[in-house]
Chains A and B, each alone.
Chain A
Amino acid sequence: MAHPPTIFIILENLIPIAVQALAACSVLVLLLAWSVRRGLREEDGIIPAQGFTLRNVLELLLEAIVSLMRQTIGPTWPRYVPLVGTLGFFILISNLMGLIPGLGGPTSYVETNLSWAVMAVAVSEYAAFKHQGAKAYLSHLAGPIWWLAPLMFVVEVISHLARLLSLTIRLTGNMFADHTLVAVFLSFPVVAYFVPWVFMGLGVFVAFLQAFIFSFLTIIYIGLALEDAH
């Protein structure tokens, strides 16, 4: 898929563009995390900061994620907060980075999204194996009727793989379509002054929404894996 040119094509032959974008996004996330951590060190983190600071916004988001996890996953939720929180914040920041003209976020490239989806699905499968036991989980995949078991097993395995593909393509397609749309409308002579504003606004909304959807689906898959102990 042909992406619009970004600042990363300068070093394109040395380092692949997706890797450069991922490195740039990691640096941004680390800078944000370091600035929040520095604010936490002052009053030991108990007293909230005043006003509309970055720390308060991030604490709000974290509280929303934790309440959702507590509802869906149950008592073992602290084990999965690092994964879900990291995925959510990283995807949010890289989506927003992808909207800046000249900078591409790593979520526009299918490689990073595939690796994150593999991680999310692998953690949910591992949680299922550890919580229910391998034999119980495999017999759950085979279904209740014994003579349909080969068919059911294949269908269930394919549907678990389809979760991986759907997470990847959903995130990649949304981000790629957004910034390609903005780039296409910027190349027309007259409408380039009016129309890209609308698509930028839509892009910001879709950035937040897709980050939320990815982490929410990860929470749901982990919750599904942990709850079916008949």
Chain B
Amino acid sequence: MRVLWIFGFALLALTAAPDLALAAEEAGSPSWGIAIGAGLAIGLAGLGCGIGQGLAAAGAVQGIARNPGAAGQIQTPMIIGLALIESIALYGFVIGFMLQGKF
């Protein structure tokens, strides 16, 4: 068990070292806010979309569990709802993509 902890920390230090070097370099660019904004755009959009689609799928699966005969009728609105919630994550992706080369 202790070997696992030591191994984990060693791996973290090895992978974090180049990241620290990069971070020291990127803070020098004058529009670093755009870079953070682009990352946050898709990140937060993905967070909201994940929670929303999880709730939609959970509701659909509970409905099928209560009434297995209505599975076909529950599945179609679930797919439609998932696609509409997905589009909100896509708005964030489009903003992130548009900001991506601009810094």
Which residues of A does B touch, CB under 8 Å? 1-2, 166, 169-170, 172-174, 177, 209-210, 213, 216
Contacts and interface: CB of A to CB of B under 8 A. Distances in A.
Given A173-B87, A173-B91, A213 B80 contact: yes
Interface stretch (B2-10, B26-34, B50-58, B92-100): B92-100
Contact of B87 (A1, A2, A169): A169
B98 A213 contact: no
B16 interface: no
Interface string B23-67: 000000000000000000000000000000000000000000000
B90 A170 contact: yes
B79 interface: yes
Nearest to B101: A2
A122 B98 CA distance: 28
B83 A177 contact: no
B90 A177 contact: yes
Given A1-B98, A166-B87, A173 B93 contact: yes
Interface of A is mostly: helix
B70 interface: no
B93 A177 contact: yes
B84 interface: yes
A213 B83 contact: yes
Nearest to A110: B94
A1 B86 CA distance: 20
A1 B93 CA distance: 12
Contacts of A1: 97-98
Nearest to A210: B83
Q: Give the top 5 A-B pairs by smallest Cβ distance, nearest first.
A: A173-B90, A170-B87, A213-B83, A173-B94, A209-B83
Q: Which of B79, B87, B97, B98 has the most CB of A within 10 A?
A: B87
Contacts of B98: 1
B64 to A, nearest CB: 20
A172 to B, nearest CB: 8
A2 B83 CA distance: 25
Contacts of A216: 80
A113 B79 CA distance: 22
A209 B79 contact: yes
Nearest to A174: B90
Contacts of B94: 169, 172-173
